[in-house]
Amino acid sequence: MKTLTLNVKGMTCGHCKSAVNGALAELEGIDNVEVNLETGKVDVSFDETKVDETKMKEAIEEQGYDVA
């Protein structure tokens, strides 16, 4: 299991938090997601044999947020 922190821009409320959380949680290989609305930081633990940062970024961007 590996961890990384994504910097997500544009999350403003609890719905945004849920949208990002849900989009990541749906990916295969994601173990845990922690979204911090105030800082925009999203901590993810994942199985690096099943998912990578590119896929996570795509999932978040599909929800309408930018990943720095």
Summarize as ranges the residues that interact with its own copies (CB under 8 A).
10, 12-16, 19, 64
Q: Which is nearer to its own copies, 7 or 22 (CB)?
A: 22
Q: How far is the CB of 13 from its own copies (least distance, A)?
A: 5
CA separation (Å) from 44 to 10, 22?
18, 12
Which residue do the tokens 């990002």 mark? 20
Q: How far is the CB of 66 from its own copies (least distance, A)?
A: 14
The tokens of 67 are what?
Answer: 């990943």
Count CA within 13 A, CB hemisphere, residue 29.
13
Q: How far is the CB of 10 from its own copies (least distance, A)?
A: 8
